[in-house]
Amino acid sequence: MKSKPSKKKSTPSLKNGLPGPGVHGLRELPGLQVDGYSLQLRDKDGFVGDQASQTAFRELLERWRKRRRKEGRDPLGLSHSRNLSKKELDHALQAKKAPEAADVMHGAIEEFAEELAYVIQRFTRQPSWERVQRIVVGGGFPESDVGERAILQAGAILEEMGVHVQLGRLSHNVDDGGLIGWVHLAPPAMLKGHDAILAVDIGGTNIRCGIVKTRHRKAPDFSLAKVVRRVKWRHADDGPNRGSIVEHIAEMLEDMVLYSERKKIRLAPFIGIGCPGLIRQDGSISRGAQNLPGDWESHAFHLPSEVWRRMPMIGSGPTLVLMHNDAVVQGLSELPFMREVKHWGVLTIGTGLGNASFTNLA
């Protein structure tokens, strides 16, 4: 039986049994300002961003397939579009022996690209986005050939619309962006004498937990920060409630601590949690967590406290658990590569559409 990380009942510098001076949802960092995030715009059909999510793409693809079914056979088979894997969609797009399937995919991609371009145009009309020069796109969608093609087409459409903004993908694995970004939010004093931090990325479909080596001695700007171990739980397949999700996150974190002990990785007593929605300074969620199971916006629910109670100590120090918006964290993973751009943003295309905009002050 595996032993769990040591937990002490008495911890210094704690108030009301919770970690001390941490502020959640920070907007101002050294040399950087978070202009806005979790922007929610409405039109007659609801939230504008919902039109450019991975969920929206699959619904759109299903409509294209239904039109084909009326004419005869569906070239993509019997499974609903929401149940097709990214590999299956990419295969259909590239299938030279099944041109009808490729035609359906191309049609859906083109229509989705138009929707994405429309959403970006709407965003750039808002004060927090109007000066954005470059947008990096993360989330699960861009890691597929289908997603990459849609983003390229959206970029071309934006140019035709007169919206001059560059679109690009994350510099690293999309599963890592929501973890790596935490090295820029962890208090610098906590990183001294340690090799790595723990980070959690919560999405509407998956939850990722990982060990991020800061490698700040080799690159003080964290441009070489690296995820050395990551696990992903597709919670949407299990249909858990809010409480069981918290328990599973704690188990994932405890497993990371044990792994670090075996590999002699010196963990800082810090856990960063990226979560959809607007994060208050006290670590609660005010809105935007509708894609998560259960009521995450309840005043009675405080995720950082729930996690801390299960892991009050990492190593010999009291744990600091901070929470921020997941798109902000993913955007911060690109910070070392955005120094030449004054105003920039990030879109995360997943179950929903996450977004954040930044200004470099240095």
| 268-318: pLDDT as tens digits | 999 999 999 999 999 999 998 988 999 999 989 999 999 999 999 998 889
Range list of β-strands (E), the chain: 14-15, 18-19, 28-29, 32-37, 42-43, 46-47, 134-138, 166-169, 196-202, 207-213, 226-233, 267-275, 278-279, 285-287, 313-314, 317-318, 320-325, 343-349, 353-360
Cβ neighbours of residue 272 closer than 8 Å, sequence gap 6 or more: 182, 185, 186, 197, 198, 199, 200, 321, 322, 323, 324, 329
Please give the Cα distance from 170 to 268 (Å, whole number): 26
Q: For a pLDDT cut of 70, what percent of the chain falls above it?
A: 94
Across 210-239, average pLDDT? 96
Give the pLDDT score at 6: 43
Question: Residue 18: pLDDT band by 50, 70, 90 thresholds?
Answer: low
Please give the Cα distance from 186 to 168 (Å, whole number): 26
Q: For a pLDDT cut of 90, what percent of the chain falls above it?
A: 80
pLDDT in tens, 155-177: 999 999 999 999 999 988 889 99
pLDDT in tens, 243-281: 999 999 999 999 999 999 999 999 999 999 999 999 999
Residue 3 pLDDT > 50: no
Across 17-45, average pLDDT? 82
Please give the Cα distance from 359 to 326 (Å, whole number): 18
Sign of the torsion formed by the C-alpha atoms of 101, 352, 131 and 30? negative
Across 116-138, average pLDDT? 96
Q: What angle do CA 55, 57, 63 make, to 5 degrees?
A: 110
Give the pLDDT score at 136: 96
Residue 2 pLDDT > 60: no
Higher pLDDT, 95 or 136: 136
CB burial class (10 A; 0-12, 13-18, 19+) of residue 164? exposed
Residue 22 pLDDT > 70: no
Residue 220 pLDDT > 70: yes
Would you say 172 and 333 are in contact if contact means Cβ atoms under 8 Å apart?
yes
pLDDT in tens, 49-101: 889 999 999 999 999 999 999 888 899 999 999 999 999 999 999 987 788 99
If you ran DSSP here, which 8-state letter would residue 15 be given?
E
Question: Residue 124: pLDDT band by 50, 70, 90 thresholds?
Answer: very high
pLDDT in tens, 328-338: 999 999 999 99
Give the pLDDT score at 5: 47
Would you say 329 and 274 are in contact if contact means Cβ atoms under 8 Å apart?
yes
Structural domain boundaries of the chain? 42-169, 173-326
Helices (H) and strands (E) in the chain, counts: 9, 19
Question: Residue 339: pLDDT band by 50, 70, 90 thresholds?
Answer: very high
Residue 20 pLDDT > 70: no
Residue 184 pLDDT > 80: yes
Q: Pick the closest to residue 312 from 256, 271, 251 (CA basis).
A: 271
Give the pLDDT score at 218: 95
Please give the Cα distance from 2 to 170 (Å, whole number): 37
Give the pLDDT score at 46: 75
Same fold, 42-169 and 173-326: yes
CATH class of this structure's domain 173-326: alpha beta
CATH fold of 42-169, please?
Nucleotidyltransferase; domain 5 (3.30.420)
Q: What angle do CA 344, 347, 350 make, to 5 degrees?
A: 165
Sign of the torsion formed by the C-alpha atoms of 231, 236, 240 and 246? positive
The encoded tokens of residue 132 equal 């954005």
